[in-house]
Structure 1
Amino acid sequence: MTQRKIIHIDLDCFFAAVEMRDNPKLGDQPIAVGGSVSSRGVIAACNYPARTFGVRSAMPTAQALKLCPHLLLVPGRMQAYKEASQQVMAILKRYSDIVEPLSLDEAYLDVTGSALCQGSATRIAEAIRHTIKTETGLTASAGVAPNKFLAKIASDERKPDGLFVICPHQVPDFVARLPVQKIPGIGPKTASRLQELGVHYCQDVFKVPLARLIRQFGAYSQTLLERCQGLDQRPVSAERVRKSVGVEQTYAQDKCSLQDCEAELPALLSTLQQRLERHRASSLVHKVAVKLKFHDFQQTTVEQQVQTADLASIRSLLVTAWQRGEGRPVRLIGLQAGLAEQDHKQLMLEL
């Protein structure tokens, strides 16, 4: 079986980097792309000088300004980010026919069997990084590994503007010492549950009886065991199937009652249905979910199997989510429709 060669490219602090490139006057001062305090915005991206103060993406803007009072807030320019992303993705396609974009600022490439750069995935990754910097003025970090999981992990090892390679013979030792929270998909809650079982590094998971893992994590146990061995059979796919469509709204004033939240549902549902129509996915809906983020930034999500996204189903889920919040004011409401797979139609993710 041919050993795969996978590259993960991740543009460094992408939104902020585009702003710094387009406005050299910003220099090296801490900047963040995000909403103003008055609009209760959150940080979409920040540069590395801002990160030294503890500012992070998805952080409330007010909190970011407390950590870094001289933080410069820059309004987002999505069209500029899309154009930069399209330029980068076009560069990636020069190096492989198999490119899988994950978002505006990252993608996988499969270069197995490529004749470029004498067939060296490492040299291809270096060439890509150099081309991106030369043609766009942006920097990218890259990870090279035998599979997608490890390539993504590797691209974080030398950020920013770096390259890290995991050769096949290095996989066992590298994964054994890998903290489990670095596995994509393992969030704080799952990491905490693993730590309660004594699992801090990937090698620790094999000390836990399989039956106990299954009780704790169900079907995810299989994926967990595979990742902790450095295994990942997922192919790099040039066509990605959309799995869900969603909409959410952060409100300038908290919604302090269930009735206030219910009043927002028709507008949110209308937007969701428009997005489903745009993706020709209305007939594929098999699950709906309601997310509430409370005034203290804690959040909960309730979901249900359905055949259509209708107001009655969504209202019922909202009631359950509201009850979980025990009457706490709500700052954000989100709706999401899960989509079933379709054999005859590929729903492409838009950049």
Structure 2
Amino acid sequence: MGSFRKIIHVDMDAFFASVEQLDNPDLRGKPVAVGGNEVRGVVAAASYEAREYGVRSAMSGKMAALKCPHLIFVKPRFERYKEVSNQIREIFFEYTDLVEPLSLDEAFLDVTENKFGNPSASLLAQEIRDKIKATTGLNASAGISYNKFLAKTASDINKPNGQAVILPKEAEAFLEKMPIEKFFGIGAVTAEKMKKLGIHQGKDLKEYSLQFLTKRFGKSGLHFFNIVRGIHNSEVQPHRERKSLSAESTFENDLLNQDELVSALKKIFQELVRRMERTKIQGRTVTLKIKYKDFSLQTRSKSFEQFPNQDKIWETVIELLNQTPLTMAVRLFGIGVSNLNILEDRALYGKQLWLDFEE
């Protein structure tokens, strides 16, 4: 790639579901959903067998069960996923110190200068995937290119259990053919806005000036202008600062009774305390997250000059709960702390901030 950087994006295939199938042979070859159930909750991950029926992560358990009546729901085991994730992370560090985790199951690696002196990023990606398979029994896919956006795009091309390369000379032609909703940073709402303008593929987006895109899409306009031309200069950042620590739970039944609400919050608070003690993390801002039965979301926060102790955090949670009367039943609570006492080199797991837990 000449003077270009060599970036690998490694993405585990159906990670949570694959770990469950690995640990429980009875689940192999069957449609599995991690998280939620037939009545409540949200699917955190779906096996490839479940995806064939249209089951996807972030889908309600109820909808998933309708799409796949013989879907097997299993409870998430985040400690186990973290354990496997750490094994995979160690493999990455055998090749380069420039590792940027995005979540438990994916990361960017800058292998321009690597510990084996191997000039082929493709061969390194294959080696890494083989080592992950040998060590954990799980499949990974990989994308290779000269920037993070294209590497992440490439990792989807031959999923599952495959890899693809987008070379600098191929990038613009590849992006011109790519559906607009596949571009990083273009979500469903933005994609719909673009389609109304006649923008369906990269080549359509390329026809619009920076001035037009900035006027129509604000600061994101520059990002859209650049990525369709294969320009994405963000470096692999090995130290990611954790922004918050939290715990949340979706209830079997919607709650409105004050005693039930407080009891539910107490269990979530106890889980948060366990996580704070384990990670030695403290935070000066306490946040209560409330999702109502109509799926509307509200957050209430309070900040302190000093790090509040456990008693003060609990007192604040109750204060936030009672700040404004609840007019609708609650389906989910979350409690989090932010403005943390940790530095970048103590970063843990990237963007995965709100984790469900099972009682």
TM-score bracket for this pair, using the shorter chain length: 0.7 to 0.9
2:29 is paired with a residue of what secondary structure?
coil
Structure 1: tracts of 5 or more residues without a match: none
Q: What is aligned with 2:14?
A: 13
Q: What is aligned with 2:90?
A: 90
Q: Which moved more, 1:19-28 or 1:123-132?
A: 19-28
Q: Distance in 1 between matches of 2:35 and 2:265?
A: 27
Structure 1 residues 269, 201: CA separation in 2 closer, same or farther (over 3 Å shift)?
A: farther
2:86 is paired with a residue of what secondary structure?
helix
Quote the offset at 1:213 in angstroms. Answer: 3.0
Q: TM-score, normalised by structure 2?
A: 0.78
2:184 is paired with a residue of what secondary structure?
coil
Number of aligned residues: 338
| Counterpart contact for 2:95–2:115, Cα < 8 Å | no
| Counterpart contact for 2:178–2:201, Cα < 8 Å | yes
| Counterpart contact for 2:33–2:44, Cα < 8 Å | yes
| Counterpart contact for 1:290–1:318, Cα < 8 Å | no
Q: What is aligned with 2:347?
A: 348
Structure 1 residues 107, 266: CA separation in 2 closer, same or farther (over 3 Å shift)?
A: same
Q: Which moved more, 1:40-49 or 1:160-169?
A: 40-49
Q: Deviations over 1:196-216 (max 9, x none)?
A: 333222332343454443344
Quote the offset at 1:345 in angstroms. Answer: 5.5
| Counterpart contact for 2:282–2:340, Cα < 8 Å | no
Q: Distance in 1 between matches of 2:273 and 2:290?
A: 19
1:193 maps to amino acid: K
Give percent identity, aligned residues only. 39
Matching of residue 233 in structure 1 with residue 233 in structure 2: yes
| Counterpart contact for 1:197–1:208, Cα < 8 Å | no
Q: What is aligned with 1:31?
A: 32
1:106-125 alignment runs, 5 A limit: 106-114=106-114, 116=116, 118-125=118-125
Q: What is aligned with 2:67?
A: 67
Structure 1 residues 272, 76: CA separation in 2 closer, same or farther (over 3 Å shift)?
A: closer
Q: What is aligned with 1:174?
A: 174
Structure 2: tracts of 5 or more residues without a match: 306-312, 351-359
Q: Distance in 2 between matches of 1:45 and 1:347?
A: 27
1:237 is paired with a residue of what secondary structure?
coil
- Aligned-pair RMSD on alpha carbons? 3.6
Q: Distance in 2 between matches of 1:221 and 1:271?
A: 41
Structure 1 residues 346, 99: CA separation in 2 closer, same or farther (over 3 Å shift)?
A: closer
Structure 1 residues 21, 70: CA separation in 2 closer, same or farther (over 3 Å shift)?
A: same
| Counterpart contact for 1:242–1:339, Cα < 8 Å | no
Q: Which moved more, 1:4-13 or 1:328-337?
A: 328-337
Match of 1:295 among 274, 281, 293: 293
Q: Distance in 1 between matches of 2:228 and 2:340?
A: 29
1:219-258 alignment runs, 5 A limit: 219-255=219-255
2:90 maps to amino acid: A
1:224 is paired with a residue of what secondary structure?
helix
1:224 maps to amino acid: F
Q: What is aligned with 1:50?
A: 50
| Counterpart contact for 2:265–2:333, Cα < 8 Å | no
Q: TM-score, normalised by structure 1?
A: 0.80
